[in-house]
Amino acid sequence: MNFVIDAHNGVPMTDQLVTGITALIRSRQLLPGVKLPSIRGLAADQHISRFPVIEAYDRLSSLGLIVPKHGSGFYVAAHVGHEMRSGGSDPRLAEEESHQILQQFNYPGETLKLSSGFVPEAWRDLEGITQAMRQVMRMDISSVIDYAMPHGDANLRNQIQMRLGPIGIEAEMSNIIVTSGASQALDLIVRFMLKPGDTVFVEDPGYYNLVGLLKLQGVRIIGVPRLATGPDVDVAEYLLKSVQPKLFFINTVFHNPTATNVAPQIAFRLLQLAQQHDFTIVEDDIYADLQATPTQRLGSLDQLDHVIYVGGLSKTLSSSLRIGYIAAKRELIKGLVDVKVLTSLGGSRFSECVVAALLERGTYRKYLERLRRRVRDALSTAVQHLEGRGWEIFDEPSGGNFVWTRVPGIDDSMVLVEQALQFGITLAPGSYYRPGGERCAWVRMNTAHVGDPRAIRFFEHMGNGGGDVRDARNAR
């Protein structure tokens, strides 16, 4: 096992074992079918007790990464290598995809989740949210116990309709459905519009939760490179000569993970391709509220003809309230409502009423002004910290709370993942964001956490050569 457990860095030994072995499997240093060290042998090699090894092997088994064989030991699962490249609908793959998402969650005493996608709790408007909750409970106590209407609360949809105006999307309330976060919005679209074997385009790199959802549904996924100006339309046009996708999923503003925006000329070409080849663009605009001055949206250019627009407030306001929405053609909304009723009946009426109150009272607008300043300052500081220590930024970010970065000379971000553990940091390798899990030099960082002392020490360590890890890793 090519990693060393550090008993003094504050990271649970079980977590270090799971991360280290997962990294070896993902980088294919441990190939499918390879036998792992025995529990006793690994414990002795790492100078630790057997209990963390037992727990780590159990967790890796539940993720489908390793397989126990009675009387023989533990082996790397035979399916892992194939599925990491091509995907599939195997439940074990879904479990692995969900593990990537669960790694974002932070708990007291655990590692710094430097790749987390969440706005810190201290930045949220807890007072404004609790005041809105009290108001709703005084004015509409039935919202605490009743289902929401399938389309969503009328007041909230009216507020969403007004919010779409400034970005140029002219939608009626009948064009809008409220969802339980943007994740449910994407799930409803996939369930209603796709069947196993259908082809879709996604961005490479892109939103890994979407990729996991598509794999779960047995959809054929083709990645289109994401450039600083948006999807590579030349590659997309070339692919369209032989492939007919039903959907193209695009993250327009503050793209996850590169933090770039789709340039106007790219937006026009994408819509031309959609019209010529009869596919629909799903415009994921979940980070829209972090942008003070709106840039061009695909939905505004197209007015929902070949575009389905997805937005939400969970990324900025509250992850617990879970409010997302879809704006689309009226006949499409009707079908999506039917799927929503069949799969979840309705959303949380209480959450919808609370968010509507926050929007109506102007509380959310005032909060956004403060949040944008914090995000802007954190982004500027993050770029200074990273570039000042020799890291490379994918493209100078114009906003948002992510930075896509790498260390020159390291071509596999698993090196960074392994080194980060020594500093009490959990990083998601860049391969997580690629449709086929291909090796990637880049990593996503949440700018809110870049100023943490552990992060600063890590940046300096890697900027100074990382203990010659470049040469050691690239020689293997």
Cβ of 292: how many Cβ atoms within 10 Å?
Answer: 12
Residues 202 and 318 in one domain: yes
Q: Tell me how far apart the alpha carbons of residues 330 and 188 are, in angstroms, rounded to a whole number.
A: 15
Q: Tell me how far apart the alpha carbons of residues 49 and 42 are, in angstroms, rounded to a whole number.
A: 9
Residues 3 and 66 in one domain: yes
In the chain, % of residues over pLDDT 70: 90
Q: Region 294-304: what's the mean pLDDT?
A: 93
Residue 409 belongs to some domain of the structure? no
Q: Region 376-395: what's the mean pLDDT?
A: 94
pLDDT over 60 at 421, yes or no: yes
Residues 224 and 349 in one domain: yes
Give 406's strand partners.
392
pLDDT over 70 at 80, yes or no: no
pLDDT over 50 at 93, yes or no: no
Residue 118 belongs to some domain of the structure? no
3-state DSSP assignment of residue 269: helix
Res 103: pLDDT: 52
Cβ of 104: how many Cβ atoms within 10 Å?
Answer: 14
Residue 447 belongs to some domain of the structure? no
Q: Which of 340, 361, 382 is the last residue of a domain?
A: 361
Residues 77 and 130 in one domain: no
Residue of 274 and 465 predicted with greater confidence = 274
Q: Region 361-376: what's the mean pLDDT?
A: 95
Least confident of 103-112, 142-151, 264-273, 340-349: 103-112
In this structure, what DSSP letter does residue 317 have?
T
Tokens read off for 369: 């002004």
Who contacts 437 (Cβ-Cβ below 8 Å, separation ≥6)?
A: 26, 84, 85, 431
Res 59: pLDDT: 82
Res 465: pLDDT: 64
Q: Region 256-275: what's the mean pLDDT?
A: 96
**pLDDT tens by residue, 33-65:** 889 999 999 999 988 998 889 888 888 887 778
Model confidence at 469, pLDDT cuts 50, 70, 90, reads low
Residues 177 and 278 in one domain: yes
Q: Region 240-247: what's the mean pLDDT?
A: 94
Residues 275 and 131 in one domain: yes
Residue 291 belongs to some domain of the structure? yes
Res 101: pLDDT: 52
Residue of 147 and 90 predicted with greater confidence = 147
Q: Which of 361, 390, 419 is the last residue of a domain?
A: 361
- Assign residue 336 the CATH number of its domain: 3.40.640.10
Res 473: pLDDT: 46
Who contacts 146 (Cβ-Cβ below 8 Å, separation ≥6)?
A: 349
Residues 174 and 284 in one domain: yes
Residue 388 belongs to some domain of the structure? no
Residues 249 and 150 in one domain: yes
Q: Tell me how far apart the alpha carbons of residues 199 and 112 are, in angstroms, rounded to a whole number.
A: 37
Res 108: pLDDT: 40
Tell the burial category of 350 from Cβ atoms under 10 Å away from its Cβ (0-12, 13-18, 19+): buried
- Adjacency order of strands within the sheet including 307-312: 176-179, 324-327, 307-312, 280-284, 247-251, 199-204, 220-227, 230-231
Q: Tell me how far apart the alpha carbons of residues 60 and 66 are, in angstroms, rounded to a whole number.
A: 6
In the chain, % of residues over pLDDT 90: 62
pLDDT over 50 at 476, yes or no: no
pLDDT over 70 at 466, yes or no: no
Residues 157 and 270 in one domain: yes
Residues 166 and 61 in one domain: no
Model confidence at 472, pLDDT cuts 50, 70, 90, reads very low
Q: How far is CA 311 from the centre of its chain?
A: 14
Residue 382 belongs to some domain of the structure? no
Residue of 173 and 4 predicted with greater confidence = 173
Residues 135 and 194 in one domain: yes
Res 248: pLDDT: 98
Q: Tell me how far apart the alpha carbons of residues 104 and 414 are, in angstroms, rounded to a whole number.
A: 17
Q: Tell me how far apart the alpha carbons of residues 247 and 97 are, in angstroms, rounded to a whole number.
A: 21
The HSE-up count of residue 6 (CA atoms within 13 Å, CB side) is 14
Average pLDDT, the chain: 87
Cβ of 132: how many Cβ atoms within 10 Å?
Answer: 23
Domain that holds residue 27: 1-81
Residue 103 belongs to some domain of the structure? no
**Crossing angle of the two packed helices 414-421 and 453-463, in degrees rounded to 10:** 130
- Assign residue 39 the CATH number of its domain: 1.10.10.10
Res 31: pLDDT: 84
Res 344: pLDDT: 85
Model confidence at 340, pLDDT cuts 50, 70, 90, reads very high
Res 447: pLDDT: 95
Model confidence at 111, pLDDT cuts 50, 70, 90, reads confident
Block residue for tokens 């260390």: 407
Q: Region 67-80: what's the mean pLDDT?
A: 80
- What is the number of structural domains in the chain? 2
Least confident of 144-148, 202-206, 372-376: 144-148
Residue 366 belongs to some domain of the structure? no
Which residue type occupies 34?
V
pLDDT over 80 at 169, yes or no: yes
Q: Region 172-188: what's the mean pLDDT?
A: 95
Residues 291 and 175 in one domain: yes
Q: Which of 361, 384, 409 is the last residue of a domain?
A: 361
Least confident of 9-13, 193-197, 201-205, 386-390: 9-13
